[in-house]
Amino acid sequence: MRYKFLPHTADVKINAYGKTIEGAFVNSALALRSAIAGEAKTKSSIKKVVKANAKDLDGLLYRFIEEFLYLFDAKDFILTKITKLKIAHDKNGFSLHAAAEGDKASNHRFHNDVKAITYNDMFVKKTTHNFIIQFVLDV
Protein backbone atom coordinates (compact mmCIF):
# COMPACT_ATOMS: atom_id res chain seq x y z
CA MET A 1 0.00 0.00 0.00
CA ARG A 2 1.41 3.40 -1.00
CA TYR A 3 -1.01 5.60 0.95
CA LYS A 4 -4.37 5.55 2.68
CA PHE A 5 -6.98 8.06 3.66
CA LEU A 6 -7.81 8.22 7.37
CA PRO A 7 -11.04 9.34 9.02
CA HIS A 8 -11.22 13.08 9.73
CA THR A 9 -14.20 15.19 10.73
CA ALA A 10 -13.85 17.96 8.14
CA ASP A 11 -10.67 17.60 6.10
CA VAL A 12 -8.67 14.89 4.31
CA LYS A 13 -6.11 13.04 6.44
CA ILE A 14 -3.48 10.94 4.69
CA ASN A 15 -0.83 8.40 5.62
CA ALA A 16 1.78 7.72 2.92
CA TYR A 17 4.44 5.02 3.01
CA GLY A 18 7.76 4.24 1.38
CA LYS A 19 10.80 2.03 1.85
CA THR A 20 12.85 5.23 1.52
CA ILE A 21 12.13 8.81 2.51
CA GLU A 22 12.00 9.67 -1.19
CA GLY A 23 9.44 6.91 -1.80
CA ALA A 24 7.27 8.20 1.03
CA PHE A 25 7.40 11.74 -0.39
CA VAL A 26 6.47 10.47 -3.87
CA ASN A 27 3.51 8.59 -2.41
CA SER A 28 2.46 11.72 -0.49
CA ALA A 29 2.25 13.65 -3.76
CA LEU A 30 0.30 10.81 -5.40
CA ALA A 31 -2.10 10.81 -2.43
CA LEU A 32 -2.64 14.54 -2.93
CA ARG A 33 -3.42 13.89 -6.58
CA SER A 34 -5.88 11.18 -5.59
CA ALA A 35 -7.53 13.47 -3.01
CA ILE A 36 -8.07 16.06 -5.74
CA ALA A 37 -8.99 13.92 -8.75
CA GLY A 38 -9.64 10.40 -7.49
CA GLU A 39 -8.12 7.54 -9.44
CA ALA A 40 -8.94 8.94 -12.87
CA LYS A 41 -6.31 8.30 -15.53
CA THR A 42 -4.16 11.27 -16.43
CA LYS A 43 -1.75 11.79 -19.28
CA SER A 44 1.93 12.57 -18.78
CA SER A 45 2.21 15.31 -21.38
CA ILE A 46 3.61 18.14 -19.20
CA LYS A 47 6.92 18.08 -17.33
CA LYS A 48 7.69 20.14 -14.24
CA VAL A 49 10.62 20.48 -11.84
CA VAL A 50 9.78 20.91 -8.17
CA LYS A 51 12.30 22.22 -5.64
CA ALA A 52 11.90 22.82 -1.92
CA ASN A 53 14.07 23.70 1.07
CA ALA A 54 13.32 23.59 4.79
CA LYS A 55 14.96 23.27 8.19
CA ASP A 56 13.24 19.95 8.94
CA LEU A 57 11.38 17.13 7.16
CA ASP A 58 7.94 18.39 8.19
CA GLY A 59 8.68 21.74 6.61
CA LEU A 60 10.07 20.05 3.51
CA LEU A 61 6.90 17.96 3.14
CA TYR A 62 4.77 21.07 3.60
CA ARG A 63 6.63 22.98 0.89
CA PHE A 64 6.66 19.96 -1.45
CA ILE A 65 2.88 19.43 -1.26
CA GLU A 66 2.27 23.19 -1.35
CA GLU A 67 4.20 23.40 -4.63
CA PHE A 68 1.88 20.85 -6.25
CA LEU A 69 -1.14 22.80 -4.99
CA TYR A 70 0.36 25.95 -6.52
CA LEU A 71 0.94 24.16 -9.84
CA PHE A 72 -2.65 22.92 -9.75
CA ASP A 73 -4.22 26.29 -8.91
CA ALA A 74 -1.97 28.65 -10.88
CA LYS A 75 -0.52 26.57 -13.71
CA ASP A 76 -3.39 24.16 -14.57
CA PHE A 77 -1.21 21.14 -13.75
CA ILE A 78 -2.34 17.82 -12.23
CA LEU A 79 0.31 15.30 -11.27
CA THR A 80 0.52 11.93 -12.98
CA LYS A 81 3.87 10.66 -11.69
CA ILE A 82 7.19 11.65 -10.24
CA THR A 83 10.05 10.27 -12.31
CA LYS A 84 12.88 11.33 -10.01
CA LEU A 85 13.10 12.67 -6.48
CA LYS A 86 16.19 13.36 -4.39
CA ILE A 87 16.26 14.61 -0.80
CA ALA A 88 19.52 15.93 0.61
CA HIS A 89 20.51 17.04 4.11
CA ASP A 90 23.28 19.42 5.15
CA LYS A 91 24.03 21.93 7.91
CA ASN A 92 21.36 24.30 6.55
CA GLY A 93 18.56 21.72 6.62
CA PHE A 94 16.88 19.66 3.92
CA SER A 95 16.47 20.18 0.19
CA LEU A 96 14.41 18.38 -2.40
CA HIS A 97 14.60 18.21 -6.19
CA ALA A 98 11.90 16.34 -8.13
CA ALA A 99 11.01 15.73 -11.77
CA ALA A 100 7.26 15.41 -12.24
CA GLU A 101 4.94 14.66 -15.13
CA GLY A 102 1.28 15.48 -15.45
CA ASP A 103 -1.59 16.80 -17.48
CA LYS A 104 -3.71 19.93 -17.77
CA ALA A 105 -5.91 20.02 -14.69
CA SER A 106 -8.71 21.53 -16.78
CA ASN A 107 -9.00 18.16 -18.60
CA HIS A 108 -10.29 16.46 -15.41
CA ARG A 109 -13.12 16.42 -12.88
CA PHE A 110 -12.33 16.94 -9.23
CA HIS A 111 -13.46 15.19 -6.06
CA ASN A 112 -12.22 17.73 -3.49
CA ASP A 113 -11.41 21.41 -3.54
CA VAL A 114 -8.11 21.25 -1.66
CA LYS A 115 -7.26 24.67 -0.25
CA ALA A 116 -3.99 23.93 1.55
CA ILE A 117 -1.82 21.47 3.39
CA THR A 118 -1.75 21.99 7.16
CA TYR A 119 0.74 21.18 9.90
CA ASN A 120 -2.14 19.62 11.88
CA ASP A 121 -1.25 16.00 12.83
CA MET A 122 1.76 16.14 10.45
CA PHE A 123 4.73 13.84 10.91
CA VAL A 124 7.52 12.22 8.94
CA LYS A 125 9.04 9.24 10.72
CA LYS A 126 11.16 6.19 10.11
CA THR A 127 9.98 2.82 11.39
CA THR A 128 11.83 -0.48 11.40
CA HIS A 129 10.86 -1.29 7.80
CA ASN A 130 9.83 1.94 6.11
CA PHE A 131 8.97 5.63 6.34
CA ILE A 132 5.52 6.92 7.24
CA ILE A 133 4.23 10.38 6.47
CA GLN A 134 1.00 11.83 7.80
CA PHE A 135 -0.60 15.12 6.83
CA VAL A 136 -3.98 16.82 6.60
CA LEU A 137 -5.38 18.70 3.62
CA ASP A 138 -7.77 21.59 4.22
CA VAL A 139 -10.76 21.08 1.90
- Residue-range domain boundaries for the chain: 3-138
CATH number given to 3-138: 3.55.10.10
Give me the pLDDT at residue 76, please.
95
Residue 23 DSSP label: H
- For 6, the enclosing helix (H) or strand (E) is strand 3-6
pLDDT > 90? residue 80: yes
Quick: pLDDT tens for 1-54.
799 999 998 899 999 999 999 999 999 999 999 999 988 777 788 999 999 999
Q: Is 7 exposed, middle or buried (0-12, 13-18, 19+ CB in 10 A)?
A: exposed
Share of the chain above pLDDT 90, in %: 86
Provide the whole-model pTM.
Answer: 0.95
* Dihedral sign of CA atoms 117, 121, 124, 127 in order: negative
Helix (H, G, I), strand (E, B) or coil at 120: strand
Is residue 131 within 8 A of residue 20, CB to CB? The reply is yes
